[in-house]
Amino acid sequence: NSADVDAASFGEQHITKGIGRLTKHVFEDAKGTFITTDKGVKLLDLTSGIGVVNLGHCHPKVSEAAAKQCSKITHAQVNIGFSAVQIALIKELLPILPHPSLDTVFFWNSGAEAVEAAVKLARAATKKPNVIVMQGSYHGRTNATASMTRSKTIYGESHGPLMPGVFTTAFPYYSQFGLPADTPTEELVRQSLLQFKLTLQQQTAPSDTAAVIIEPVIGEGGYVPAPPEFLHGLRKICDEHGILLIADEVQSGFGRTGKMFFIEESGVKPDILIFAKGIANGFPLSGIASTKALMDLQKPGSMGGTYAGNAVACAAAKAVIQVFQEENILDNVAARSKQLFGFLEDLKANSPAGSLIEDIRGSGLMVGVQFADRPTDAGSSNTAATKAGSQPQIAPKVVQECLKRDMLLLSTSIFDVLRFIPPLTITEQELEQACGIFKESLEAVAK
Ligand code: PMP
């Protein structure tokens, strides 16, 4: 009788092994910063479901808006007519986008679908075939987006042939160049822009290149904010060659970095902005924004889909934007970010376990901790890790220690980086609790 089988065992039996899973917990309820399992375990969630529930799990105003929409209209098919709730959402969304020229949108369901929509638009608008992606990038697991992902080979492995016409350039990140953590930013920017120019000389000619796509804070690739000078440099080279600049803010958008979108900080205008995850706090909604001039180059009928901008998800998203304003969410991001950076820097400087930390970086509540055990020219593990007597790959061990203490924390796809990505509504006390658990976990690993 399947009703008697433990839910996790049933899941293991009947859900594809192709889904990698951090834990065997069965999530049943969640509120704010906590998730409760079917066994009654209360977990402190520092993942926000990978940057999705930015307003905390089941924010009452978002849930209420979605519930109300459920008894109004749930499916307003965009290839058949306009959706009233989608239009109401667009009115709230346009003013918070990073540039007034981004005045035309298209909604989809997932981040990967939105990335594909951006590539379709770039190709249709420029009539050029190729795209350039960043080393370390993550754009999704569909065929086209797996082709564009450069954080880990598993996303494309054994799923080929992948989409052709994708070329790779460097993201300004010291460990990507095998350089020390204190390498000056100007040097990293100089090297990366040089690599970009070489990409256009050696891999894909400007006349064949539709777009370059960048995560303004690289996500799965290690939580590294792109320096503003790099974004300005890319913009300039793109303008010289008629190449579009696409910002994938699927993970860094919707308040995550302390601004609604990280690219605002640099003042650089992307030609296409991609958003998803945080926009609807857990309901499937994604999309792209661009200029009317570019968007209208697409032939009627070429875009759309059954659930493109689903009505319930749009109602949730509209409530999300209102909550950002009503509850001063960005003020909390600034305060909690200061608290988290303060804690991590103190830990790094003043405790033996903290000496395992090589680099702390990020913006707002998108914070990465790089441990020292990464591949270098000299070999595998470095001095700090060796001194502490630990094995390579500290991050996954810290994640496991946090789990033992009922806290969910994620690593990233690249070597030995942990990411802090809590709900933006996390309280001072909850973050203090999380920091305490992190410290204990790191100490357990350093032993
Ligand atoms: N782009 C970025 C930057 C992401 O972080 C992700 C998801 N982690 C995606 C695209 C893909 O989004 P989805 O999983 O919703 O397809």
Q: What is the pLDDT of residues 242-298, one digit of tens each?
A: 999 999 999 999 999 999 999 999 999 999 999 999 999 999 999 999 999 999 999
Q: How far is the CA of 326 from the centre of ligand 1 (A)?
A: 27
pLDDT band at 177 (very low <50, low <70, confident <90, very high): confident
pLDDT at 376 over 80: no
Distance CA 269, CA 211 (A): 14
Does any domain span residue 65? no
Q: Whose CA is nearest to atom 13 of ligand 1?
A: 111
The last residue of a domain, from among 275, 298, 326: 326
**Residue to probe by mutation, ligand 1, list 148, 214, 250, most atoms within 8 Å of CB:** 250
Q: Whose CA is nearest to atom 10 of ligand 1?
A: 139
Does any domain span residue 22? yes
Same domain, 154 and 257: yes
Q: How far is the CA of 313 from the centre of ligand 1 (A)?
A: 17
Q: How far is the CA of 444 from the centre of ligand 1 (A)?
A: 32
Pocket of ligand 1 (CB under 6 A): 50, 110-112, 115, 138-140, 215, 219-220, 248, 250-251, 276
Same domain, 42 and 105: no
**Residue to probe by mutation, ligand 1, list 251, 256, 257, most atoms within 8 Å of CB:** 251
Same domain, 123 and 134: yes
Pair type for strands 357-363 and 130-134: unpaired
Same domain, 230 and 257: yes
Q: Which CATH number is 29's domain given?
A: 3.90.1150.10
Name the least confident of 67-71, 153-157, 312-316, 397-401. Answer: 153-157
Does any domain span residue 67? no
Query: Is the omega angle on the peptide bond into residue 161 within 30 degrees of 0, that is, cis?
Result: yes
Same domain, 161 and 12: no
Does any domain span residue 285? yes
SS (H, E, C) the chain: CHHHCCHHHHHHHHCCCCCCCCCCCCEEEEEECEEEECCCCEEEECCHHHHCCCCCECCHHHHHHHHHHHCCCCCCCCCCCCCHHHHHHHHHHHHHCCCCCCCEEEEECCHHHHHHHHHHHHHHHHCCCEEEEECCCCCCCCHHHHHCCCCCHHHCCCCCCCCCCEEEECCCCHHHHCCCCCCCHHHHHHHHHHHHHHHHHHCCCHHHEEEEEECCEECCCCCEECCHHHHHHHHHHHHHHCCEEEEECCCCCCCCCCCCCHHHHHCCCCCEEEECHHHHECECCEEEEECHHHHCCCCCCCCCCCCCCCHHHHHHHHHHHHHHHHCCHHHHHHHHHHHHHHHHHHHHHHCCHHHHEEEEEEECCEEEEEECCCCECCECCCHHHHHCCCCCCHHHHHHHHHHHCCEECEECCCCCEEEECCCCCCCHHHHHHHHHHHHHHHHHHHC
Q: Which residues pair with 300 in a beta bridge?
A: none
Q: How far is the CA of 446 from the centre of ligand 1 (A)?
A: 32
Q: What pLDDT shows up at residue 379?
A: 44
Does any domain span residue 149? yes
**Residue to probe by mutation, ligand 1, list 110, 150, 277, 281, most atoms within 8 Å of CB:** 277
Q: How far is the CA of 162 from the centre of ligand 1 (A)?
A: 18
- Per-residue pLDDT of 187-239, as tens digits, reads 999 999 999 999 999 999 999 999 999 999 999 999 999 999 999 999 999 99
Does any domain span residue 15? yes
Q: What pLDDT shows up at residue 383?
A: 43
Q: What pLDDT shows up at residue 374?
A: 55
pLDDT band at 384 (very low <50, low <70, confident <90, very high): very low
The last residue of a domain, from among 281, 296, 326: 326
pLDDT at 386 over 80: no
- When comparing pLDDT for 323 and 388, which is higher? 323
Same domain, 437 and 294: no
Domain that holds residue 19: 2-59+328-446
Distance CA 440, CA 44 (A): 15
Q: How far is the CA of 381 from the centre of ligand 1 (A)?
A: 30
Same domain, 360 and 295: no
The last residue of a domain, from among 305, 326, 347: 326
pLDDT band at 2 (very low <50, low <70, confident <90, very high): low
Q: Which CATH number is 95's domain given?
A: 3.40.640.10
Q: Is the ipTM of this complex over 0.95?
A: yes
pLDDT at 26 over 50: yes
Atom of ligand 1 nearest to the CA of 115: 10
Burial code (b: 16+ CB inside 10 Å, e: under 16) for 327-336 equals eebbebbeeb
Please answer whether residues 413 and 156 qualify as being in contact, where contact means their C-beta atoms are separated by less than 8 angstroms.
Answer: no
Atom of ligand 1 nearest to the CA of 141: 16
Q: What pLDDT shows up at residue 247?
A: 98
Same domain, 298 and 222: yes
Q: What pLDDT shows up at residue 262?
A: 98
Same domain, 295 and 405: no
Q: How far is the CA of 275 from the centre of ligand 1 (A)?
A: 9
Whole-Å CA distances, 418 to 316, 398, 412, 415:
30, 9, 6, 9
The pTM for the full model equals 0.96
Same domain, 207 and 348: no
Provide φ and ψ at 282, rounded to 5°.
125, -15
pLDDT band at 392 (very low <50, low <70, confident <90, very high): low
Same domain, 206 and 260: yes
Whole-number mean pLDDT of the chain?
94
Work out the average pLDDT over 409-438. 96
Same domain, 289 and 371: no
pLDDT at 381 over 60: no
pLDDT at 380 over 70: no
Q: Whose CA is nearest to atom 5 of ligand 1?
A: 251
Q: How far is the CA of 114 from the centre of ligand 1 (A)?
A: 9
Number of domains in the chain: 2
pLDDT at 382 over 50: no
Q: What pLDDT shows up at residue 372?
A: 77
Work out the average pLDDT over 352-381. 81
pLDDT at 76 over 60: yes
Atom of ligand 1 nearest to the CA of 249: 3
Does any domain span residue 66? no
Q: How far is the CA of 111 from the centre of ligand 1 (A)?
A: 5
Q: How far is the CA of 348 from the centre of ligand 1 (A)?
A: 30
Distance CA 178, CA 156 (A): 25
Q: In whole angstroms, how large is the CA radius of gyration of the chain?
A: 22
Percent residues over pLDDT 90 in the chain: 91
Work out the average pLDDT over 68-77. 98
